[in-house]
Each structure stands twice: as structure tokens, then as C-alpha cells.
A = this chain, B = another copy of it.
């Protein structure tokens, strides 16, 4: 029944075990200056208004008390969170960690943290992400949205939150603070399809996912197939996962006339397909050739022929774009689309 002995200085019934950290007020008190002077000295490299001796004293006291700025207070006062949100379908898809790293590498030196939001690639998840962003949790966003359209994302710009989308093709400039980074997915898939045809394949199937960049990749593949007088052969499974890829491959292998090559709309799909082929006792590429899209780190190890997307560079470019947007006046510039180059990685699987 006795009240706890440990209490913060705010006291009044709030019992918190941890002693509260020193604030600018504490420093001011100890140094005999105003709290505002402390803020000034702590934040500015040069403070012409503060005498050098006072400046030194403030700095010493701060050091002594082990002062650290209270981040939430800063956020509230300055209306900046110094945080970038990274909205992605699934951090366990090996494509995204590289993107996150690229983001962090540019964000950290500029003073920004990176918060990860997984949408699971589902509409509800994407809606929740937007709701969440509207609570002022991040100053800017790098995102992969599969379902939400530009009109549903405009609310972010309207609230002063710049967005960089990871896209699958060029987007026209727009009035909003929505930029994009992309590789030309249509052309990349087209080039891979041409390569497979050049290798002598005629029955080439593509494993697609229902949503996301798969569409553009299918478009490039379809166009080249038709141009070559071949019929596109699409098989769609739900998600970008190995399970989906394996399931689709199994269905392909049950056919009377099997494809000789399978193009996975993403590496994860291709990996699942490889696994299914192995289980079926097929040798790659002798019995069946397999190609992917993304060039995730393990693709090299598995000898997967694939399209390289420079995920680290895409993340870094997205972060640089955000940093620029958040400079004074940056939100007024029209939305730009930035293209990076893809590369066909020819390995042993095809």
C-alpha cells in the first residue's frame, strides 16, 4: 500500500522506476542560464549571441549530466520526425533487404531513421499503411504499393508527406510530390524472353503473381512471344513466394506437353519453380530451363539466370529523392520518374 520510493521529478503519483533523463532545463539550472540558451548552444555550431565562456560552460554541464535530446519533443516542436518509412510487401522477400540497406545508407548520414511497414502485399495492409502514415510518423515514404492507385495516395502529398514509389515503368510527371524509381520492366522481360528464344526455346511459360510488377513483366514477355510467332503461356498463382512458384510449376509439369523453359516473374517464384522441378526429378537446365527476375543475392549461388534490378541503388536513389523533397520548397517540384538500368544475368539455369 505504501507508495513506491522511486519517483520521477514529475512525481504526483506517476511512479516510474527509471530516473528521468536530464533535460535542457536541468542544464540551464546547473549552468545558470536560460533553457533557450541551452537549446541554442546544443543545436547550433555557432552562437554569436552567447558568450564563449557561457557556451563552454553549457557544453560541459551537458556532458557531465549525460544529456541526450528527447527525440519525441523535438519531433513535436519541429514538426519533423527525421524518419523515413519504408512500406513493402514483405521483408522476408530477399529483394527488399537490399532496398532497405540502400535507403538506410543515404538516410542515416542525412539524419533520418528507417521504419519498416509490411503490407503483406494485401489491399488492407496498404490501406493501413496510409492511415498510419497520416499520423505524422514519418517525414517521407519509400513504398511498393501493389493495389493502391495514385488517387488513393494523393492524400499523402496533400498532407505534405513526399512519396517515392518503386515502380515497374516510367510514370509521367505529375503535380504532386510523388516520385518514382524504376527499371523498365517491360523491356527487361522482353530481353529475357528474346534470350530464351535465342537459346532455342519455343514453349516458354511465365509464372505470374496476381498483383504487382508481374503485369509489366508479362507484357514484355507476351509481346516478344507473339512477335516471334509463339503463343504466350501464362500461369498465375497468388503471391510472390516460393510456395506460389512451386505450385505453379507443379501444374506446368502435370501437362501433357511441358514447356522447355519457365520464366518466373520474380526470383522467388523462379526459386519455387526450381525446387518443384528438382522434386520432380528434372535436371536444370537440361530437362527444363528456368529464368527469374530481380537477381536476389542467392540467385548467383543457385546459378539462376535472371534480370538484375539494382535494389540497393534503387533504395539509395529513393532516399536521395526524399532528402531533396524535404529541403525547403522541395515539395513544390513536379513528381519525377527516375530510371535505373537493368542487366540480364546469364547463368546456368537457362
Q: Is the CB of B91 within 8 A of A100?
A: yes
A274 to B302, CA, bound (A): 10
Q: Which of B72, B98, B242 contacts A92 (CB 8 A)?
A: B98
Q: Is the CB of A301 within 8 A of B271?
A: yes
Q: Is the CB of A137 within 8 A of B113?
A: yes
Q: Within the complex, what minimum Cβ distance (angstroms) separates A301 from chain B?
A: 6
Q: Is the CB of A97 within 8 A of B101?
A: no
A115 within 8 A of B: yes
A80 to B346, CA, bound (A): 51
How many A residues touch the partner, as a band? 35 or more
Q: Is the CB of A116 within 8 A of B118?
A: no
Copies in the complex: 2
Q: Is the CB of B100 within 8 A of A116?
A: yes
Q: Which of B17, B18, B104, B118 contacts A101 (CB 8 A)?
A: B118
Interface mask (A52-87 → B, CB under 8 Å = 1, otherwise 0): 000000000000000011111101100001010000
A331 within 8 A of B: yes
Measured CB to CB, the nearest residue on chain B to A82 is B137
Q: Is the CB of B159 within 8 A of A18?
A: yes
A134 within 8 A of B: yes
A16 within 8 A of B: yes
Interface mask (A273-317 → B, CB under 8 Å = 1, otherwise 0): 011000000000000000000000110111000000000000000
A232 within 8 A of B: no
Q: Is the CB of A331 within 8 A of B116?
A: no
Report B-chain residues with C-beta under 8 Å of the C-beta of A21. Answer: 134, 136, 159
A16 to B158, CA, bound (A): 11
A200 within 8 A of B: no
A319 within 8 A of B: no
- Given the interface pairs A91-B101, A94-B94, A302-B301, the reply to whether A115 lies near B118 with Cβ below 8 Å is no
